[in-house]
Amino acid sequence: GGAAFAPGGAAPNNSGSSSRGVGSSGSNSQGGGSAKKGKKPPPAASAASVNLMRSLFSRPHQAEPCTSAIPPVPSSSTPAVLLAPEAGQPCSPTPPHPLARSHSDSAAAAAAAANASGGAPAPAATAPPLPSQQPPIPSQPPRPHRVWNHYQQALYYMAQDPSKIDRREQKDVHVDDLCIRIRDIYPKGHYHALVVARESGLDSVEDLQPKHLPLLEHMRHVALQYVRQCQQQQHPQQQRLVFRLGFHSIPSCRQLHLHVVSQDLCGVNMKKKDHFQRFTTPFFITLNEVERQLREHGHVACDQAQAHAFLGAPLKCHRCGAGMVNFSRLKEHLVSCTALFSGPGAVYAPEAPPM
């Protein structure tokens, strides 16, 4: 037939033999004999490689899941919890707690112990309790730190150094190693004294602990001494004296102090509703109640929000219970009221033991 042209662009071969890469000499060789040798053709791709390339270029690129670095979890151990890896970090399993044991481990250990003991089941081993992740519940809720000014610390200074007591104003002063007793310079009743603890760190009843029960009993003893003195000073024709012994839930002065106040509440400094409510509502915590809470609960609970609410309660006479429209009417009523106070914490002067 006619002359055929080689794919490599060589001259026609007159010898009739087929050639793929024939050189100019017409010899049957792929490289072309003395002609310049061409580049070696790339090897043919396998079918698996072709399919892989097609799958990669025929869809958007997606990151392969990083599961190659995760070791297999044995069936007898607690499964590890996988956390989402951070950016640029390989994911890794979370190791189990060193004290944690799975049910299968416990069963296998029990079976091995039973076989070793001749069939008798061994007592189950109890793992130590894991440390609690929750903070311990305090026995007393925390309270904000209070800042006292110079005048509010007058009792504190006198308790720490009794020589600072002004003896010109204080005629009847008691001082010992545990407490001092002075007259209240702003009396709310005809008779009003303060028994002040000398221990540092006792700012209010909220600082008391059960270990302070002996101190409170001593303060009661000193308070009853004052009650007995007042009874001896009273005129025989005067009304029977009744006292209350207690603390303010929110004190106005630093250092724990016990109020010993007569229940006439007609002192020269009883001037407004707030003064009256501080001694006639639950804002005033009796000494008996403080001792009870220390024995039963280990501390004295004072809800400051509730205490402030007591100061705004309606006015009424603490002796007869009659309601009053305002404080002026109440003061007039207290002068003429003949009822005796019989509420909680009442201490009658004739019943106070002689000291």
- How many whole angstroms separate alpha carbon 94 and alpha carbon 319? 71
H/E run at residue 294? helix 287-297
252 contacts 171 by C-beta, under 8 angstroms = no
- How many whole angstroms separate alpha carbon 240 and alpha carbon 242? 7
Residues 6+ apart with CB under 8 A from 71: 93
H/E run at residue 180? strand 179-183
Residues 192, 212, 248, 257: which is the catalytic one? 257
- How many whole angstroms separate alpha carbon 217 and alpha carbon 287? 9
Backbone phi, then psi, for 261, in 5-degree steps? Answer: -130, 135
Helix (H, G, I), strand (E, B) or coil at 236: coil
Is the torsion defined by CA of 195, 201, 207, 211 positive or negative? negative
Decide if 192 is catalytic: no
- How many whole angstroms separate alpha carbon 50 and alpha carbon 57? 11
224 contacts 243 by C-beta, under 8 angstroms = no
**CA end-to-end span of the chain:** 151
> Active-site residues: which are they?
257
